[in-house]
């Protein structure tokens, strides 16, 4: 019996040792490339361009200098960790609104996806560039079908409240614009809304 246990332990340890991958040392003369964070989305205000009209060099230089003078806002969307993709449409210059499309894959459950979005939006809304926005519209899609939409007013959220959950605080600071039947039923069970 002892030989069997010893043999099994020996085989297991040899197997684990063989699974390890030897690290290659980095030569001192080569630089290390670090991956760029994928959670930030650069938002640029578009400039109207007509592709059918040729522009002179002076017009091109003028347009380039105008584009360089515009401020570019960076909104970090990495808070939405379970989302397949997040798109931000910046309407703050005209409507003081950010429209955030949060997309989930087809195998995601709409109620859980909405709850995840509300919890993660709690931190998203606290960004210095976002918290000053009048309204942040959170539009949630599962498999390209909208399942919920909230118009959140960051000024109406008490980020220091420790008595309520994060999703509750975001819902309390929001106007519920749309809920499909499944999300509505899920939220009622979770006591997020009536």
| Structure tokens, 175 | 């106007």
Q: Digits of tens for pLDDT over the chain (194 positions)?
A: 555 454 545 444 544 445 554 444 544 444 444 444 445 554 444 444 444 445 555 454 444 444 433 344 578 999 999 999 999 999 999 999 999 999 999 999 999 999 999 999 999 999 998 999 999 999 999 999 999 999 999 999 999 999 999 999 999 999 999 999 999 999 999 999 98
Pair 152, 131: CB distance under 8 Å: no
Contact assessment for residue 159 and residue 135, using Cβ atoms and an 8 Å cutoff: no
pLDDT value of residue 107: 96
pLDDT attached to residue 74: 75
Kindly report, residue by residue over 89-128, the tens digit of the pLDDT. Answer: 999 999 999 999 999 999 999 999 999 999 999 999 999 9
What is the pLDDT, as a whole number, of residue 73? 56
- C-alpha 56/C-alpha 48 separation (Å) is 16
pLDDT of amino acid 194: 82
What the block records as the tokens of 43 is 């938002």
Helix (H) or strand (E) holding 89: strand 85-90
The whole-number pLDDT of residue 65 equals 41
Write down the pLDDT at residue 60.
46
């Amino acid at each position: 019996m002892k030989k069997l246990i010893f043999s099994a332990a020996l085989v297991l340890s040899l197997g684990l040792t063989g699974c390890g991958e030897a690290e290659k040392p980095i030569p001192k003369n080569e630089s290390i490339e670090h991956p760029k964070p994928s959670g930030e989305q650069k938002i640029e205000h578009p400039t109207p361009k007509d592709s059918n009209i040729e522009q002179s060099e002076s017009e091109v230089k003028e347009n380039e200098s105008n584009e360089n003078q515009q401020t570019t806002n960076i909104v970090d969307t990495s808070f939405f960790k379970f989302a397949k993709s997040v798109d931000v449409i910046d309407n703050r210059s005209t409507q003081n609104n950010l429209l955030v499309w949060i997309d989930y894959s087809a195998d995601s459950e709409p109620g859980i996806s909405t709850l995840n979005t509300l919890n993660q939006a709690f931190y998203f809304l606290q960004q210095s560039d976002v918290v000053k926005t009048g309204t942040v519209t959170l539009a949630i899609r599962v498999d390209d079908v909208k399942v919920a939409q909230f118009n959140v007013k960051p000024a109406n959220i008490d980020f220091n409240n420790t008595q309520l959950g994060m999703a509750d605080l975001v819902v309390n600071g929001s106007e519920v614009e749309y809920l499909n039947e499944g999300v509505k039923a899920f939220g009622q069970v979770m006591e997020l809304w009536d």
